[in-house]
Every structure is written in structure tokens, then in C-alpha cells.
Amino acid sequence: MGYGIPKGWGLPQIKHGIGVEHMEYETSASGGQLSIRLKGEFTFADNEQFQAMAKSILESSLKNVSLDFSGLDFIDSAALSMLLVMRESCAKQRKNLSLCNSAGRVKEVLDEMKFSKFIRTKN
Amino acid sequence: MKAYLCHDPISGALVKAALLQGTDGVPEEQLLPSQSDRACDLLFVHQQDLTPEVLSTYQFSQLVEVDQHFSINSFKSALQPRSPSLLQFNVSSPCAYQHRLAKLFLQQLEQQNNELTAIVGHDFDLPLHEAITNATIHGNLELDSGFSDLESMELFYKSVAQRLADPGFASRRVVVAASLQGRHIQFSVTDEGRGHALQTLTKNQQDTPHGRGLMLMSGHSESLKFDDGGRTSKIAFRYEE
């Protein structure tokens, strides 16, 4: 039969993570506010989606930005760091960033980390 | 039984082969005639064959993911006796980074242990996920995530991608294990990085934007400690049915 080691070389990289529910977002604008609703799980694996989301926020002319967490099921420390980077970027453009509608374990994490000290939070 | 999932050269189907001790010490594999036996002690699976279907089909004490960096020494190391555990995943750094490993591990643990119910819950999932992330990014890839703006954040994640493609870093393994000790369930996560001397969290860390991973690891646990020079984190929870 032969040993399996030589067959291991040259394997393609993992294309799709299993168990991963990548963060998705929907953008809408109304009443002078840019609203972004996040869905799924927000983790370190979502850095590309986050960068795209940040770009759309910073390129928008609207000064008030609200991140709606009602569709988020899970958030990790890497995502919290990304949100703080968003805060800094918004502050440089004098945009007002806020979070709202977190629930379940996402809300528990934000409360445990006292995240409202860093980003305005409404629920 | 030590087994290896491979593709039958005749049918192309994914089948289980037993790993037998060869005469020269190098393991040999022998295709098993029957697919009825889904249980084994140690199961090697190629990276591209690691799917939800495989995880739900087979029962094992230890799963070893084989990627392109896996060597003969990696095989021999995986075959070494380890501390008894309910379940163990031994995976590459790219696998730990790209799959939602904590969730998969907990699902497998619940699936294979009838006496453990409601394992897949936020109390275990987030701390274990943080421990695996730390082991992969800070341990094996030796990267510090102290970015403060979008530009440095982008550079950080580019460094992550570069190191995941560098065999010197990507070949390092992450081992996740669970064991029951009385009414406590303990998860351990081991990396092959340089380790660290951190033992406790300081007040300063609680007020800074970064470094919250350790706080989330310890938040719901009974204890969090580090062994092996910081390469192994052990998180213990009181287990309630």
C-alpha cells in the first residue's frame, strides 16, 4: 500500500473552513445615519470582511454610524480589537460610532469587557 | 486501533486503513475490509478529507490532521503515548486558523460522550476558541496583535497569511484535549511556539483595548493556568449536567 507521507505533499490549501459562520453585513442609510447590521460570528477569521466594512464606513459621507449586532451569535477578542480600530478611524473623521441591539452571549461578552467605556452602546 | 483515512486506489472512496507496525519501525497501512467499524483510538486524516461528514461518521480518541508539512517525525510524535483524555485533536496551524476548531471539538466531544450533555455552549466555546487562537497566532506564528489602526491591522493580518504559508511556522502543531477530573472538565491547548512567562492578568490589561483574549479565557472558568513554559494553557470548568 505504501506509507501515506508522500501523498501528503502538495495538498491544496484549505479552501473552506468547517464550522465557520463568517460574519456578513448589510448596509442601509436613513435619516443621516449609516446603519450596518452584522450577522453570523465575528472572529479573527473575518478580518477581510471587516476591512471591507471599514472602507465603506470611512468612504461614506454620513457622520453617524450605527453597528447593529442583533444578528451576531458569537464574538471573540480579535473582533473586539477590530471594533476599537474602527472607533479610532471614525474618530479621526469625526464620525460618531455606536453599537446597538447586542444579545445573548455577544451582549455578555461586551458587558463583561465593559465595552461601553470604549464605544457608545445602545440596547 | 490506529487508523488512517485514505482513498482506496481502486474505488477512490474514502476508507479506513489500519496502521500496523512495520518491520523497520515505519508504520504501514492495511485497508480494512469492512466499513462497519467506525471506532478507533487514533485516526489520521488528510487535510482535504477533514469534513463535517468524516467527523460525524468516525469515533476516535485522537484525531491527527495531516497537511503538506507533516513529516515522518510528525507521525512518530503523534504515535507517542499521551496523557489519557476524552478527546484530542492534533492539527496544523493553518487548520487551527481556518476552521472553527473549538466548536468542532466541542461538537465531537458531545457526540462521543453520552454522559456529557449540553457541552456545546457559550461557557466552553469562547474560552476554548480564545485559547486556540492564542496558541495559533501568538504561539505558533509568533505574532503580537498589538495593532492600533487600520493600516497596522492590515499589516498584521498579512503577516498572519505569510506565516501560515511559511513551512517553518505553519508546520507547528496545535493540540487540543479534554479530560474529566471529578466534576471538572479540563481543556488544554498546546502549541509549539516560544512560550511565555505570563501567569496572571494585571489590572492594566483589563483597561486596555487589547489582550482581552486571556480575560475571555478565564472569565467563566474555575481556573486558568499555563504549563510547559507557557505553551500549554489549561482551562478547568465545573461540569454540571
State the best of A15, A85, A102, A105 to mutate against chain B, taking most chain B CBs within 10 Å: A85
Find out whether B123 and B220 touch, Cβ atoms under 8 Å: yes
Cβ of B216 within 8 Å of Cβ of A76? The answer is yes
In this prediction the pTM is: 0.89
Could you tell me if A17 and A50 are in contact, meaning their C-beta atoms sit under 8 angstroms apart? no
B chain contacts of residue A104, beta-carbon cutoff 8 Å? 122
Q: Report yes or no: B125 at the A interface, CB cutoff 8 Å.
A: yes
Which three cell numbers, joined as nine digits, stand for B73?
517525525
**Residue A3, pLDDT score:** 33
Secondary structure (DSSP) of B133-157: HIIIIIIIS-------SHHHHHHHH
If we measure between CA atoms, which residue out of B104, B138, B153, B110 comes closest to residue B231? Answer: B138
Q: How far is B69 from chain A (nearest CA, A)?
A: 7
Dihedrals φ, ψ of B178, to 5°? -130, 140
Angle between helices B122-133 and A104-112 (to 10 degrees): 60
H or E element, residue B122: helix B122-133
Q: How far is B228 from chain A (nearest CA, A)?
A: 24
Q: Cell numbers at residue B178, please?
A: 479534554
* CB-CB under 8 Å, B52 with A18: yes
Question: What integer pLDDT is reported at residue B203 of this predicted model?
Answer: 41
Cβ pair A54, A20 in contact under 8 A: no
Question: Is B148–A77 a contact, with Cβ atoms under 8 angstroms apart?
Answer: no
Put simply, whether B30 touches A (Cβ < 8 Å) is yes
* Residue B234: predicted pLDDT: 93
What's the helix, strand, coil split of chain A in %, to 5?
40, 30, 30
Say if B48 is an interface residue toward chain A (CB within 8 Å). Answer: yes
Gap between the Cα atoms of B209 and A88, Å rounded: 11
Cβ contact B94:A18 at 8 Å: no
Q: What number of other Cβ atoms are within 10 A of residue B104's Cβ?
A: 21
Q: Quote the minimal CA–CA distance from B72 to chain A in Å.
A: 7
Residue window 201-220, chain B: list those with CB within 8 Å of chain A: 209-210, 212-213, 215-216, 219
Quick one: DSSP state of residue A14? P
Position of cell 467563566?
B220
Residues of chain B with confidence (pLDDT) below 50: 120-122, 200-207
pLDDT, tens digit, 9 for 90 and up, residues A40-99:
999 999 999 999 999 999 999 999 999 999 999 999 999 999 999 999 999 999 999 999
Please tell me which of the candidates B28, B94, B100 has its beta carbon nearest to residue A3: B28
The span from the CA of B69 to the CA of B86, in Å, is 27
CB B92 within 8 A of CB B65: yes
Question: Which string of DSSP letters, residue by residue, matches B193-227?
Answer: S------S--HHHHHSSS-HHHHHHHTT-SEEEEE
pLDDT of residue A16: 63
CA dihedral B7→B132→B187→B201, nearest 10 degrees, is 170
Within 8 A of A12 by CB-CB distance, chain B residues are: 48
